[in-house]
A and B are shown apart, each in its own frame.
Chain A
Amino acid sequence: MNSQIQVAPTVDAANPWATHAVRIREIEPEVRDVVTYRLAFEDPAVAERFRFQPGQFNMLYLPGIGESAISISSDPDDPQRMLHTVRAVGNVTKAMARKQVGDQLLLRGPFGSAWPVDSCEGQDLVIAAGGLGLAPVRPVIHYVMNRRDRFGKVWLLYGARSPRDLLYTSQYDRWREADIDVQITVDLGDDQWDGHIGVVPVLFDRLQLDASRTRIITCGPEIMMRFVIAECLSQKIESKQIYLSMERNMNCALGFCGHCQLGPAFVCKDGPVFTHEQMEPYLDVQDF
């Protein structure tokens, strides 16, 4: 589907199963069952070669337990400070939750397609994320902040179930200071909450978008992305200017195992980032 797949310098195309040893340097609690790990390569030569593009993921491997595809949630301009925000929800991520600073993991990557940040330069940008979907787009926020003058208006629309489920809350002010219009909403407020209540797509109503120069980056539950896309299309934003990140069962990251197929795409190597134009024929097909 996407013939332009570039093999990362830290992946051996002739033996893509090979892993690199990494050590947990920091563990930062985020929200319930979610923590951010800072991982560092053991081999300085690998660390030196490692770089990633916003939206890409690594395969984190716990021998005897298994591998899990986790997006990289840190600054792409500072690849040595590699962060992964992980929800303990499956076998591997639950085992990872028992790991401590100093423990070793194995890693392959990075893999997958990227948010097209360079081609968004000169444009207005709406980043619409839900729940843990903020993690794969945080590298985009960093990218924008590092070269803010190259972008027009930038919005971050972010929602979670409740105030307690909002990720990276301590960073919103810094993002706002960088002239990013950060709008937060929750499905269900609590006693202290005086912000928006409602789902992310509703936040679009308040924006004055110039459809001819606006790009959309959206990541979150499929249902949320579908409504975000409907909003964008109704505001006359073209299908090929809307980017979304799809989630499927990624086992190998190489297009070998077949589990992550979504129509013509292997989500692991052609995705996870697609244009809406690519996914449009399949998004509304039930159980596809």
Chain B
Amino acid sequence: MSVSTTPVNSIVSFEKPRLQGLLDALKQAGYRVVGPRVADGAVVYDELDSIEQLPLGMIDEQDGGKYRLERDAAAGYFDHVVGPHSLKRYLFPPQETLQQLRLKDGDWHVEPPRVADTPLAVIGPRSCDLHAMAIQDRVFLEGPYVDPGYRARRERLFVVSVQCRRAAATCFCHSMKTGPRASRGFDLALTELDDCFVIEVGSERGGEVLASVAGWKTCSAATVDRATEQSVRLERSMNQRGAAENAPHAAKPRQLDTRDIRDLLLNNLDHPRWDEVAERCLSCANCTMVCPTCFCSSVSEVSDLTGEQVRRERTWASCFTAEHSFLSSGVVRNSTTARYRQWLTHKLATWIDQFDTSGCVGCGRCITWCPVGIDLTEEVAAIRETAK
């Protein structure tokens, strides 16, 4: 290949085994590569050396409080949808050091934290996750203050997104207008067809990495059409969910009516449904941990035994805990009713005031990973039905 880059927006294809060449090219370019792998019965992100480690032939059945991996002979490398992990854990890690301090001669000296300087490439994020990343960008990069750790990691992130060709019953990106097709926010986007991968170049560095992968060829118009048609067909089937007859015993495919949703929720802060859902909610915080946009955190102090070395550690926090709203005069949200209402009204309503976007991307993780299967689409529908 004589060219050293593939132009942005160009579309190429390669045979499926050539995907290994992409992994190698990323490593060659200095990236640590992570991608989807099966661990403990779920597809999670982990270090990826070989395409043999990808969940080939696996699909995930998801429903309220349910996640099952199943073998499917027809399934490709990426026919699972979303697992409990998202890009959040790499850009806004569950635990990170914000500052290190050292006491010397009675005074504190602040040392900047070490931010891992190995750039990271993630293979596998879907359209919903790219939208979630854009939402966290608004929180940590686009307000009056910038979080320096987030920015350093974000600038070094290389995203190889995957176009979904299947949706779980818990997916509702079509309602949130966040998918299923990824149109921006990636360096490369893969569409898996039965005989090849179609690759769309989304950035200059994406083009540079792709150029060094052996065996890619310009895509024929017919192949581009097949790839596009696959996304269109999926979106159409999701949009027809309301009308479609549900197979017996099958999980009910979700959708969310977002019309005037901000005012709907904020005008119904005293709706009896909040108490009703609180009867089921365990206030366990799983939903906030798996949510790709939830950004709450706490900073704690970690000292050595002498008290002369201190690290400031930021860890994920959740509005489902009492500590979250603690004041010396008492806890503000002292009931599960108040905490669930805070989470849902923030996610779907006040997020719009704060960041000019919904905080929900329709990935459905909060439904799947809720131990009692609470489904926000159902809660909103119930409130809508008897709203003031």
Contact = CB atoms under 8 A, between A and B. Distances in A.
Contacts of B350: 261, 263-264
A249 B99 contact: no
Contact of A90 (B107, B319, B328, B333): B328
A251 B299 contact: yes
A249 B354 contact: no
A257 B317 contact: yes
A17 B298 contact: no
A13 B108 CA distance: 22
Given A15-B148, A269-B144, A252 B299 contact: yes
Interface stretch (A59-67, A187-195, A196-204, A229-237): A59-67
B307 A17 contact: no
B325 A256 contact: no
Contact of A104 (B98, B106, B341): B106
A287 B334 contact: yes
Contact of A63 (B310, B332, B334, B342): B310
A105 B269 CA distance: 42
B270 A285 contact: yes
State the majority secondary structure of interface residues on B: mixed
A147 B147 CA distance: 39
Which of A6, A255, A256 lies at the interface centre, i.e. has the most chain B CB atoms within 10 A of its CB?
A256
Interface in B59-111: 98-99, 101, 103, 106-108, 110
Interface string B146-159: 11100100000000
A64 B148 contact: no
A152 interface: no
A259 interface: yes
Contact of A106 (B98, B110, B300): B110
B143, B144, B345 — most chain A CB neighbours (10 Å): B144
| Majority secondary structure, A binding face | loop
Given A104-B107, A248-B332, A249-B325, A263 B301 contact: no
Interface in B122-168: 139-140, 143-148, 151
Interface in A24-75: 63-67
B346 A261 contact: yes
A249 B350 CA distance: 18
A123 interface: no
A279 interface: no
B266 to A, nearest CB: 7
Contacts of A13: 144-146
Given A13-B146, A288-B338, A248 B107 contact: no
A7 B145 CA distance: 8
B335 A287 contact: yes
A1 B342 CA distance: 17
B107 A17 contact: no
A39 to B, nearest CB: 15
B357 interface: no
B295 A256 contact: yes
25 contacts: A6-B144, A7-B144, A7-B145, A13-B146, A14-B151, A17-B148, A63-B108, A66-B299, A66-B300, A104-B106, A104-B108, A221-B329, A248-B327, A249-B327, A251-B299, A252-B297, A255-B139, A256-B145, A256-B147, A257-B299, A258-B297, A259-B296, A263-B345, A269-B145, A288-B338
Given A17-B99, A251-B299, A287-B335, 17 more contacts: A18-B110, A63-B101, A66-B301, A89-B328, A221-B329, A249-B324, A249-B326, A249-B327, A257-B296, A257-B298, A259-B324, A263-B350, A269-B143, A287-B332, A287-B333, A288-B269, A288-B341
Interface of A: 1, 5-7, 11, 13-19, 21, 63-67, 89-90, 104, 106, 221, 247-249, 251-252, 254-259, 261, 263-264, 266, 269, 281, 285-288
